[in-house]
Amino acid sequence: MLRFLAQRLLKLVLLTFALVVVNFLLIHAAPGDPASVMAGQSGAADERYLAQLREQFGLDRPLAEQLWIYVSRVATLDLGVSHRMQRPVADLILERLPATLLLSVTAFAFAVAAGIAMGAAAATRAGTVWDSLITALSMVFYCTPLFWTGLLLVLLFSVTLNWLPSFGMSTVGADYTGLRAALDVAEHLVLPALTLGLFYLAVYARLTRSSVLEVADQDFVKTARAKGVGEGRILRRHVLRNALLPVVTLAGIQAGHLIGGSILVETVFAWPGIGSLAFDALLQRDYELLLGVFLCTSVIVMLFNLLTDLLYLVIDPRVQMA
């Protein structure tokens, strides 16, 4: 286990370095001049002022030199300064990251739990009306765009029923504290987490159904059933433990995708996470901030993949780490 962790952490460091270089080159290959954007924000756009801005932010240097300076800073955990907000990029990301993690983890937990439950229910009732209903419902969730699902949920639960708030992370001007503040955040979390989770729920439900049906036809399951083991125990101890391996693999890959999917959801619900921060940075050509967000999300994706490999041992100890 220690050798496996050491190898994976070394790979993570090397991959992070490669991502820093690739992200930097891709961002600088995009059209647009950050100096022109900054000059436009300040109301001055003459050539002299543009030259001063390029010199101030190092944009007048060769690309290779800019890359070396940036990689050297990242190695010391210095992500630079946002030219739009005039604040360190690391501080901006750390302020927004908890909101994004709260949204993503909640949506992920809901999608995995509900998806596995629906998939197992459909598999145990294969060919029945319940199986067709769950399958059809999953396809509807999968085919509906995230922004459309979010708007429909807002119209139903916020506008029509007035049960849940429609935007933000907390009630503006309420100044709640303690448990009431936590409940207020939870109320604002329901709709964005539901919107983000429904799409991935459909994927896990379909995958769980097919995997359970495949494992249920194996000889060891038939042997357990012939010995008189109850169907509930067979499903929990024999079928699901083997059927969940492909689900965990896909969940580990898509856990990082939730960070990317949260950009659209955060925009629809005005959720103050790094998704909306990245969107604003893109519009303003804030390269330093955009690179910092890319680096943060990339590291989160790699950590989720490492966690997925470790979960294999919990689900099935026969899995050997390679």
Q: What is the pLDDT of residue 231?
A: 67
Q: What is the pLDDT of residue 53?
A: 66
Q: What is the pLDDT of residue 322?
A: 47
Q: What is the pLDDT of residue 266?
A: 82
What is the rounded distance in angstroms from the CA atom of residue 286 to the CA atom of residue 259? 20
> Alpha-carbon dihedral of residues 101, 106, 109, 115, nearest 10 degrees?
-130
Give me the average pLDDT of each 10-residue run along the chain (322 residues).
Answer: 76 84 78 63 61 68 80 83 81 87 86 86 81 84 81 85 82 76 86 86 84 75 72 70 74 70 78 81 78 83 76 60 48
Q: Look up the pTM and report it.
A: 0.75
Q: What is the pLDDT of residue 34?
A: 65
Q: What is the pLDDT of residue 210?
A: 82
Residue 53's φ and ψ, nearest 5 degrees, are -65, -45
Sequence-ordered list of residues with C-beta below 8 angstroms from that of 74, at least 6 positions apart, any chain: 20, 295
Burial of 47 (0-12, 13-18, 19+ CB in 10 A): exposed
Both tokens of 80, joined, read 């630079």
Burial of 101 (0-12, 13-18, 19+ CB in 10 A): middle
Q: E strands, 29-171, where?
A: 81-82, 87-88
For 169, half-sphere exposure in the C-beta direction (CA atoms, 13 angstrom radius) is 15
Burial of 308 (0-12, 13-18, 19+ CB in 10 A): middle
Query: Would you give the distance in Å from CA 86 to the centre of its chain?
Result: 27
Tally Cβ neighbours within 10 Å of residue 313. Answer: 14
DSSP-derived pairing of the beta strands 87-88 and 81-82: antiparallel
What is the rounded distance in angstroms from the CA atom of residue 115 to the CA atom of residue 198? 9
Q: What is the pLDDT of residue 218?
A: 72
Q: How do the domains of the chain map onto residue ranges? A: 1-76, 90-320
User: Terminus-to-terminus CA distance in the chain, angstroms?
Assistant: 10
Q: What is the pLDDT of residue 93?
A: 87
**90-320 under CATH 3.40.50.720, yes or no:** no
Both tokens of 155, joined, read 């119209």
What is the rounded distance in angstroms from the CA atom of residue 5 to the CA atom of residue 3? 5
